[in-house]
Structure 1
Amino acid sequence: MDGITGETDSLGVHLHYDLGNGDRLQLLRLATVAPDQPLAALVPLDGDGLDRLEAIDRLLRTLLGRKIPQDTRLTPQQRRRSRHMLQAIDGRMNGASYRDIATALFGADRVNDHPWKTSPLRDITMDLVKDAFAMIAGGYRTLLRRRHRGS
């Protein structure tokens, strides 16, 4: 498998897989496992088990050079909202007013269509900032989980 380098220590061989985007994945082949043996993935059997299995499937497909299915954890609307949240929180943390943020996100024409104090874009912008703060406080973990249909 191309893009893999390794370093050995008392635990075993730490394999580093270059993901090609500046990131790399670290895997560990335990010292008791022979080099010609395949690696194994340990998956805790808990509420996140299905998410982990999906991640392992995507990893294995990547390592084997196979087509990776589209990530379905976020809908296009959720991706757009997440992007807007990041832009909104970035602006707010750098001193921008809610109106400035709304103008950057939605354009001056749309912002100027209604009086600012009663504008729906004002409420949307404030919600984006509030929700972004919640993501920063740990809510981002929900983005990494699959959508579960029922219990």
Structure 2
Amino acid sequence: MSALAQEVLWSPDVDPAVLPLVRTPDFLSSASSGPLTALGEEHKSPEGRHALHNARALTQLLFLPGSDAHGQLAALIPLDAQTLGRIEALTRFWRSWQGRAVPPDTRVTAQQRRRFRLMMQAADGRSNGASYRDIAIALYGLSRIAADPWKTSALRDAVIGLVEGATSLIGGGYLQILRHRRRA
């Protein structure tokens, strides 16, 4: 199966947007939540059972041992450095589940998504033997590349930066994409 066709399931330790769900404690049982719908296939792991919820927005859920997707559920939000990101993920999930407008995921901006795409294209070209100039032509077009001397071109520096950034992402830096960058 192609990597593009497979579900990617993350641990909540790696991706703060994964929502761990537990059985609602008995003293909170008067708060009826109703069953979850729009759940994908469940996948067992040492942590529990993972499933994707896709009503209006895709959310990965982790049903911890003792919880039931059709029973009363509560979200478990660890109090750690990623708490605010986890609360945002919970808010997106809850709004999706309730059929309300879902706010965008703020971990990655549109500009960052565009740069990630360019980095992956540059890395793909480089791994297939393309020169930096060839990559620049593919990304920016021949007319823009021909407008300036290549050795001193700002686009040359940009392509080198894209390849270096992609190398960092491929080496494990992609995990930082899953977390918010918060000011200290």
Match for residue 87 of structure 1 among 107, 112, 121: 121
Return the offset for 1:28: 1.7
CA change 1:42–1:90 in 2 (3 A) is same
Mean CA deviation greater in 26-35 or 81-90: 26-35
Return the offset for 1:74: 2.7
CA contact (8 A) 1:88 1:128 kept: yes
Q: Which structure ranks higher in relative contact order (CA pairs < 8 Å, sequence separation ≥ 6)?
A: 2
1:87 is aligned with what amino acid? Answer: Q
Match for residue 140 of structure 2 among 96, 101, 106: 106
1:2 is aligned with what amino acid? Answer: T
CA contact (8 A) 2:59 2:93 kept: no
Question: For 1:19 and 1:134, how far apart are their aligned partners in 2?
Answer: 31
CA contact (8 A) 1:4 1:15 kept: no
Q: Which runs of 5+ in 2 are unaligned?
A: 1-35
Higher helix share: 1
Task: Tell me what 1:138 maps to.
Answer: 172
Q: How many positions carry a matched residue from both structures?
A: 144
Q: Where do 1:18-33 residues align within 5 Å? A: 18-19=53-54, 25-28=60-63, 30-31=65-66
Match for residue 2 of structure 1 among 25, 37, 40: 37
Task: Tell me what 1:62 maps to.
Answer: 96
Question: For 2:116 and 2:82, how far apart are their aligned partners in 1?
Answer: 22
TM-score by length of 1: 0.77
Q: Where do 1:38-57 residues align within 5 Å? A: 39-57=73-91
CA contact (8 A) 1:102 1:122 kept: yes
Q: Which runs of 5+ in 1 are unaligned?
A: none
CA contact (8 A) 1:6 1:14 kept: no
Question: 1:80-139 deviations in whole A, cap 9, x for unaligned?
Answer: 212211111111112211111101111100111112122111111001000111111121
Mean CA deviation greater in 55-64 or 112-121: 55-64
Question: For 1:72 and 1:15, how far apart are their aligned partners in 2?
Answer: 23
CA change 1:33–1:124 in 2 (3 A) is closer
**Percent same amino acid among aligned pairs?**
47
Question: For 1:82 and 1:42, how far apart are their aligned partners in 2?
Answer: 31
1:76 matched to 2:110: yes
CA contact (8 A) 2:63 2:69 kept: no
Task: Tell me what 2:157 maps to.
Answer: 123
Return the offset for 1:26: 4.6
